[in-house]
Structure 1
Amino acid sequence: MKDLGQLHFYFGIEVMYFDGGIHLNQSKYATELLKKTNIIVARAVGTSLAQKHGLHEAKGSPVNASTPNSEHFQAVKRILKYVKGTVQLGLTLIAKSPLRLYGFSYAYWGGCTTTRRLTTGYTIYFGANCISWASKKQHTVARSSAEVEYRH
């Protein structure tokens, strides 16, 4: 075995060290992908997909990976434009953090201003480090805050 020193890249993830922790990002990989697809010159967008992306085959049947169409191409372009705006983002991990697991969740009744649907989400922390998160707009409209809590 040979000591190669500190880790700098691992499967496309760049590792940058600072006092008290590390910062992980994929900016090099994302930039190379944007250059290959010529999206590097395009304008960045704030969301990865539009609300109603409608990814179906021409006949209206569900999406099949073997038959992409122009709607799929447009969706991929939008995702890449979103990546362009998030190239510098990454994940910071603090080394000296308590070894405790924390979880937070929320339910926002009528959270989506357009559809008035329930928005839920959660974050999981291991000490000071966020290790998992998600948010989701529910498929139905809640009629009360009690129903929001029940569904969540």
Structure 2
Amino acid sequence: MVEEQNVTLLLRDKGFKVTPQRLAIYNVLASTKAHPSAEMIFSQLQPYYPTMSLATVYKTIEILKEIGLVQILNVGEDSFRYDANVHNHPHVRCMCCGRVDDLYDIDPSNFINDVSAKTSYRLTGQQFYFYGVCPECQDAEKRQAN
């Protein structure tokens, strides 16, 4: 994740105002692996910034995406999730509780090369999402069954 002073420099370099709300939104994203939605970010920051609107959160996320500090995830829910880890990596979502986790140490390059070779597309990007039931929900299901 990027340090606050570097976020400030990036915002200014791209012609965006640096506001406490924008920095706070980035800090929420940079300090969690929960992949929050805009509503989650808004709820977390509302006590500290009571005049901030949900529209401010959405606008800031778009700005952060534009300057390369956030990636937008569409994991099959009604709203998007956001990740300050912009390095290309897959995600897995629990279909019971909605938790979204990062997946590391998985090399999708063979799959990507296969897609490119079989379609003749020049690929410009990809996102991988997997779906299942997280360990905590599996444990809860086992406890309910007993």
TM-score scaled by structure 2? Answer: 0.27
Structure with larger Rg? 1
User: Comparing both structures, which one devotes a greater share of its residues to helix?
Assistant: 2
TM-score scaled by structure 1? Answer: 0.26
